[in-house]
Amino acid sequence: MINTNLKFWRRELALTQAQMAEKLGIKRSLVGAYEEGRAEPKLTTLVNMARLFGITLDALVTTDFSKKKNAKAAMLQMQNQNAAPAQDAMASRPGGNLRILALTVDKDQNENIELVPLKASAGYLNGYADPEYLEELPKFRLPMLGTNGTYRAFEISGDSMLPIASGTVIVGRYVDDWLSIKDGTPCIVVSSKEGIVFKRVFNRLKDAAMLALHSDNPVYSPYEIDVEDVVEIWEAKSYISNTFPIADLSLNRLASIVLDLQQQMTTMKKV
């Protein structure tokens, strides 16, 4: 449906191919190729199309709007459906409108893992939904994570989650249904007030529309964050660090004592 819908909505919006290309940030020749079915848009381009037309990404690729008697009414209905969960405290995304997650893909259309370094963390709050911003971030892939989910990596700072050291990169899987988060789950929480933080999340959405954030370092006190301030949540699935955990010297000492006793017993048996 992509080529059909692209032609339909371009005409509905009274845009030339050149104007459409400018709005999508692509070459005019690509618009023609997409409309004629000679090429397929990248996922980032599809996301931009859906936003421009005011429809869902699913509708863009599955619904033939040219056969609808009132496509504008259908578009309005979809927008209302997307906005409805924001008014429902039990919705999967309490306190926030459903949105399309921006991401990037490689030449084989495999999703990248975008890395948000510390120096880019402030800009992420403004650019998290902008495909062009994400394109500028470093990218990599971890085949061991599989294809079940969308992943993003964040460099953390501070010692609130020791023994995870400052400078560690946390790889998180995107959480769409916030109500499904189990208490104590380590997550990257992106919010308008706190920025990007790595904490254990305790789910208080049903009874208080809050998330309680706890640190593993007991020096730091837990605090709550209003769901209205939450932008994204990424469940921690892996981490990358150039710092190895510090060994527990007391356990090493105990192991040494046990080894000495075993050697002494072996010597006594020989005597």
Mean pLDDT of the chain: 81
Q: What is the DSSP-derived secondary structure letter of residue 80?
A: H
Report pLDDT digits (tens) over 29-66.
899 889 888 888 888 888 888 888 888 888 888 888 77
Please state, in angstroms and rounded to a whole number, the distance separating the CA atoms of residues 139 and 137.
6
Is the bond preceding 163 in cis, omega lying within 30 degrees of 0?
yes
| 210 or 68: which leads in pLDDT | 210
Q: Are residues 134 and 234 in the same domain?
A: yes
Residue 154 lies in a domain: yes
> pLDDT class for 134, splitting at 50, 70, 90?
confident
Q: Domain total for the chain? A: 2
Same domain, 76 and 117: no
pLDDT, one tens digit per residue, over 7-32 is 888 888 888 888 888 888 888 889 98
Residues 120 and 75 grouped into a single domain: no
Handedness of CA 184, 231, 242, 221 (dihedral sign): negative
Q: Are residues 81 and 169 in the same domain?
A: no
Q: How big is the chain by its Cα radius of gyration, in Å?
A: 25
80 with 135, same domain? no
Give the model's pLDDT for residue 11: 85
Phi, psi of 242 (to 5 degrees): -100, 10
* Exposed / middle / buried, residue 166 (Cβ in 10 Å: 0-12, 13-18, 19+): middle
Report pLDDT for 98.
Answer: 45
Q: Both 77 and 133 in a single domain?
A: no
For residue 233, how many other CB atoms are within 10 A of its CB?
A: 22
Which of the two residues, 232 and 253, has the higher pLDDT score? Answer: 232
CATH number of domain containing 147? 2.10.109.10
Together in a domain, 81 and 160: no
The CATH number of whichever domain residue 58 belongs to comes to: 1.10.260.40
| Residue 165 placed within a domain | yes
Q: What percent of the chain has pLDDT over 90?
A: 32
Q: What percent of the chain has pLDDT over 70?
A: 81
pLDDT for 91 equals: 38
pLDDT at site 70: 42
- Can you say whether the dihedral through the CA atoms of 126, 176, 106, 116 is positive or negative? positive
What one-character-per-residue DSSP string does 41-64 give?
Answer: --HHHHHHHHHHHTS-HHHHHH--
The length of the chain is 271
Residue 271 lies in a domain: no
Place of tokens 């999703």: 111
What is the domain range of residue 155?
A: 113-240
| Contacts of residue 77, Cβ cutoff 8 Å, sequence gap at least 6 | none
Asked if the model's pLDDT at residue 251 lies above 60, the reply is no
pLDDT of res. 111: 85
Taking only the tens place, the pLDDT of each residue in 155-193 is: 999 999 988 999 999 999 999 889 999 999 999 999 988
Cα→Cα distances 7→49, 50, 58, 72, Å: 11, 13, 17, 15
- Residue 160: inside a domain, yes or no? yes
| 142 is a domain residue | yes
- Give the C-alpha separation, 162 to 152, whole Å: 21
Domain co-membership, 231 together with 119: yes
